Chain A
Amino acid sequence: MQRSKIKNISVISMLIILPVILFLLSFLIGRYPISPLDVILALSSAVFHFDTNLPSSIYTVVWDIRLPRIVAAMIVGAALSISGASFQGIFRNPLVSPDILGVSAGAGFGAALAILFSQGSLIIQIMAFLTGLIAVSITYSISRSFRGNTTLMMVLGGIAIAALFTAFTSCIKYVADPYSKLPEITFWLMGSLATVNASSVITILIPIFLGFTILLLVRWRINALSIGDEEARSLGVNTDNLRIIVILSCTLLTASAVSVSGIIGWVGLVIPHIARIFVGPDHKILLPASISLGAVFLLLVDGVCRTAAPVEIPLGILTAIVGAPFFIYLLHKGYEGWS
């Protein structure tokens, strides 16, 4: 009993400290070498308003280039992971990922459309966000038009809607200029944080904040939904309402994430499983743990993307190449549960 308590405390402190350490370390990674002291000076002097004699290029690299990218990596990783964990809970299915209702396919279509019409990065982002939301609303209304098992209808509807939007995206790729537009669309779909800047991060802050807050507030009740609709209702849960709340929050988060990073698979599916290995399935602890591990994971992978090769590696490719073997290794170690 005592030992399990100590283990719980050490796991929780690891989940808090690890993102902070990696956040700071990530400033040192990149083509332009900056010493740890300069990073600390550049960060703190702007916050506490004191003067340093650092060259302005260091400020530019720390504040305008590395900070937005680091924050974006953490937000995207955390958003995809908490959404994945919540969806796996409410759909009672460990194979579900946050794009099961078609949000990524929808966002991909919006982004491709904006790129086709030569729009700037802000319009691309907004289009991706909106079409992601539209795709999920279509899926949701389809499932409501059936009587009976709406959960199953929702998942099947999501698969159909995702296929439809993917086909639309293919149409756009087919007509796009193969020397300029097509590569841009393709790279967007592969997922990358290379073009992230401060304004693209600020654009998503409100929906991201809303999504995280709502999910964290209702997280204990997701336990009740995860044991079955009928039992949840007999326990007094308004299952329809709770499910809409969770779906809406996850969709806000995923659409926001995808709109800055492009489509990044695998994170939302796998991080919840890794979190469950550490803290067990109780959503009260699982959701915060998913946030922490998702942020850490994407930060690490993006660090590799930035430095491993002379040319940037698309993030979406590397999440799978790094994540899949790591996941299999963890599965071999086995689910140990929380205590």
Chain B
Amino acid sequence: MSRLLEINNVEFSYNKKKKIFEDISFSIDEGDILCILGPNGAGKSTLIKCINGLLKLNKGDILFKGKNITMMDNDELAKKMGYIPQTHSSTFAFRVIDIVLLGRVPHLGLTESPGENDYKIAEKAMENLGITHLKDKLYNEISGGERQLVIMARVLTQQPEVLLLDEPTSHLDFGNQIRTLGIINKLSKNGLSVIMTSHYPDHAFISSNKVVIMNKGTLMAVGSPEDVVTEENMRNAYEIDVRIMDVEEHRKTVVPL
């Protein structure tokens, strides 16, 4: 039986000389939350873009339910995977609802524009994230945390099966970071699978059941958070000393020394 998403021995480079990453393999199943950790420049964001088909692999392949993603059109892929980039901005002062509605692009033909049903899906996504009140606000004038939620609503409006989140918590304050992770947990309970990158090993403990650690373009470790986020691995990846401690009965946390 094939997994939901399989990444097999992938390798990528912008020019042929320097490889951004190589020999990376892992897989996820329905409802999994996989957190990719690793220092700056490890190739995390590039890997996410490759999984979303935005960049073409040199070697290896990525299979969605057994089907190679290079065999899929842009819009077919966009119905399966939703992607939230690290930064997003808009040159023009779109209303929030206009941004959220763009999630319907893969479901509409080249000459179609959103109808009543598409509006309903977009409004439902905003309701689920508690941002209905932002609907007619201008996207450029809301806060960074609100913008993150708007993009999240857009990606849900896409109705994908996998979410690819590139540092969903960067630019967010402490409270919004934890709230975002809570939303991600809730989404996965509803059957969505998530792959996200993070700079905080703690986020792996809070909201993931699988962790990949990348370092210098290679796969350092893959497994459950408890097995992989270890004092030794943290030292190897980030070159700092940490202690892993229990905060509650079943939750661990990473404390820098």
Q: Which of A38-46, A230-238, A309-317 contacts B (4 or more CB under 8 A)?
A: A230-238
Q: State in angstroms the CA–CA spacing of A4 and B103 once bound together.
A: 25
Chain A interface residue bracket vs B: 20 to 34
Q: How far is the CB of B96 from chain A (nearest CB, A)?
A: 11
Q: Is the CB of B113 within 8 A of A220?
A: yes
Is the CB of A282 closer than 8 A to any CB of chain B?
Answer: yes
Q: Is the CB of B110 within 8 A of A280?
A: no
Q: Is the CB of B77 within 8 A of A236?
A: yes
Contacts of A231 in B (CB 8 A): 83, 85, 88
- Check A281/B92 contact, CB under 8 A, given A218-B110, A235-B102, A235-B158: yes
Is the CB of B39 closer than 8 A to any CB of chain A?
Answer: no
Q: How far is the CB of A339 from chain B (nearest CB, A)?
A: 5
Is the CB of A276 closer than 8 A to any CB of chain B?
Answer: yes
Q: How far is the CB of B81 from chain A (nearest CB, A)?
A: 8
Q: Is the CB of A226 within 8 A of B158?
A: no
Q: State in angstroms the CA–CA spacing of A223 and B104 once bound together.
A: 12
Q: State in angstroms the CA–CA spacing of A104 and B77 once bound together.
A: 40
Q: State in angstroms the CA–CA spacing of A284 and B104 once bound together.
A: 14
Q: How far is the CB of A102 from chain B (nearest CB, A)?
A: 23
Q: How far is the CB of A245 from chain B (nearest CB, A)?
A: 8
Contacts of A276 in B (CB 8 A): 92-93
Q: Is the CB of A284 within 8 A of B91?
A: no
Q: Is the CB of A281 within 8 A of B105?
A: no
Is the CB of A318 closer than 8 A to any CB of chain B?
Answer: no
Q: Is the CB of A227 within 8 A of B52?
A: no
Contacts of B91 in A (CB 8 A): 92-94, 226-227
Q: Is the CB of A236 within 8 A of B78?
A: yes
- Check A337/B78 contact, CB under 8 A, given A218-B111, A234-B54, A235-B102: no
Q: Is the CB of A221 within 8 A of B110?
A: yes
Q: Is the CB of A282 within 8 A of B98?
A: yes
Q: State in angstroms the CA–CA spacing of A234 and B48 once bound together.
A: 11
Is the CB of A30 closer than 8 A to any CB of chain B?
Answer: no
Q: How far is the CB of B18 from chain A (nearest CB, A)?
A: 16
Q: How far is the CB of B165 from chain A (nearest CB, A)?
A: 12
Contacts of B103 in A (CB 8 A): 235
Q: How far is the CB of B122 from chain A (nearest CB, A)?
A: 13
Q: Is the CB of A227 within 8 A of B88?
A: yes
Q: Which of A57-104 contact B (CB under 8 A)?
A: 89, 92-94
Q: Which of B81-129 contact A (CB under 8 A)?
A: 82-83, 85, 88, 90-95, 98-99, 102-103, 105-106, 108, 110-114
Q: Is the CB of A226 within 8 A of B54?
A: no
Q: Is the CB of B94 within 8 A of A233?
A: no
Q: Is the CB of A235 within 8 A of B78?
A: yes
Q: State in angstroms the CA–CA spacing of A218 and B113 once bound together.
A: 8
Contacts of A234 in B (CB 8 A): 52, 54, 78, 82-83, 85
Provide a sorted-by-A list of 9 A–B residue pairs whose CB atoms are within 8 angstroms. Answer: A223-B102, A227-B91, A228-B88, A234-B78, A235-B103, A236-B105, A238-B74, A281-B94, A282-B94
Binding site for B on A (CB under 8 A): 4, 89, 92-94, 217-221, 223-224, 226-228, 230-238, 242, 276, 280-282, 284, 335, 337-339
Given A231-B88, A282-B94, 10 further pairs, Cβ under 8 A = A92-B91, A93-B91, A94-B91, A217-B111, A224-B105, A226-B90, A233-B53, A233-B54, A282-B95, A337-B93
